[in-house]
Structure 1
């Protein structure tokens, strides 16, 4: 669940960062994908950590 939430939050953050910098649609999609993947990986590590801790 944490991974899905992190993925969606990352996509939104990436989209708005590209929009703020004046990027086109492809720039927004690329930023959204990159941020989504990055935060999804962090969410995965957090999920594994929390599962292992208890």
Structure 2
């Protein structure tokens, strides 16, 4: 159950760090953090589904 949440947090952090590395503005940081959070959450969700299907 924690995989989507972990994906959200890790994705947001990686997105913000990537925007900061490219010297983006505050809005760039927020936008890339949101994009990273969405992608990380989706990856975590699919990972959770995959694990649940294999255990059941």
TM over 0.5: yes
Task: Give 4+ residue runs of structure 1 displaced > 4 Å after superposition.
Answer: none
CA distance in 2, matches of 1:25, 1:41: 24
* CA-CA distance at 1:39 after TM superposition: 1.1
Gaps of 5+ in 1: none
CA distance in 1, matches of 2:22, 2:53: 40
Given the two structures, how large is their TM-score scaled by the length of structure 2? Answer: 0.94
Secondary structure at the residue paired with 1:19?
helix
Given the two structures, how large is their TM-score scaled by the length of structure 1? Answer: 0.97
- What is the count of residue pairs matched by the alignment? 54
CA distance in 2, matches of 1:2, 1:42: 8
State the Cα RMSD in Å: 0.4
